[in-house]
Amino acid sequence: MATREYVYCDYAAGAPCRPEVAAEWAAYAAHEFANPGAHHPLAYLARRRLMEAHERAANVLAVDPREIVFTSGGTESDLLALRGVMKATGQGRNELVVSGIEHHAVLLEAQRLEAEGAVVHYAPVSRDGVVDVQALRHMVGPRTALVSVMYANNETGVIQPVKQIAEIAHAAGARFHCDAVQAFGKVELKPREIGCDLMSLASAKFGGPKGMGLLYNQMNSRIVPVIVGGPQEWGLRAGTEDLPGMAAMAKAMEVAESERAGAWPNVARVRDALEQRLVAGLGENVRLNGNKAPRLPNISNISFLHIEGQAMAIELGEQGFCVGLGSACAPGETDPSHVLAAMGLSWEDAIGCIRVSFGPEITKQQGERLADLCIANYRNLRGLG
């Protein structure tokens, strides 16, 4: 347990579980303990609660409850989407298109599918971190089974042209999967309006419990299960259902959506003021990655030139601010970011990166204090006095 107060600026890695969500989980854990697959009165009640969880999540996304598949998180949802589609599609469509800045859950699964015989194409991005739509268009064709591009990047917050990409996929007869793990709760997300056949969410990113996620799977989108052994989740994800986790995730979705419009504009102002203060204080010694493209309101990816980002993060931690280095799921904790490399940053610039990701409680004063500490730490780390 923490023994001091910290300003938590790592929401992209995981948000704190909201009190009302924790209360929902506890209530279900205490009272809704029967297995929904059994055959007695308490099991029938649990089955009803199971359907209610699907209905609540579906209502937030404006989809059918039967299109909701609960999983253990964003990683499993991504894996089920990619493997589920690629293994359900015949040999005539054995090609997968992803962007070069996807989360490792997508990239590593793409590599695994490639080793098993699939043909994988990796779409490049601009220096601002936006997928090159024209390059992607040339990669999609009659043999493409699936295109997978995230809604917003988990390291830079840069929002991708997913509606346009969905149209490209559908025009070729392929399906479109969108990893929306970072975006949900911060922007309006309706899979059908985007054109998604599949969409991944992770509860831990918006105030729900860790270890819960979901995959939206459009009704006529056939996929094969990855976890087998039972008929749960429409036969797509075997195992006794985590009813408390499902109910808590649905609650977190409802709360996040209800507060979305009011919570994040102020966060964007704090983030923008932080960046302006850093540039004013450090000039050409600081680089803001992706800031010229549309971004989520709470993420800032900052390269401090000529120092290591890890050193900056350690100093800030000692001073009471918790920030990230990049993706919390990267294979090597101190490896330079594959996202920044795809954007054309040098190894030296990428290694100097930190990721600041605010929550809705951040204040103007905290943002200013963080910027001032970054400026002072940079000067100390470079020996500039």
**Known catalytic residues?**
329
**Could you tell me the two tokens for 59?**
């209502």
Distance CA 314, CA 305 (A): 16
Smallest Cα–Cα separation from 217: which of 101, 36, 57, 48?
A: 57
Whole-angstrom distance between the N-terminal and C-terminal Cα of the chain? 35
Asked if residue 289 lies in contact with residue 346, where contact means CB atoms within 8 angstroms, the answer is no
Residue at token pair 């055959």: 39
CA dihedral 309, 5, 331, 120 (to 10 degrees): -90
Distance CA 332, CA 267 (A): 30
- Output the CA torsion sign for 329, 332, 334, 335: negative
Helices 243-282 and 19-31: crossing angle in degrees, nearest 10, is 160
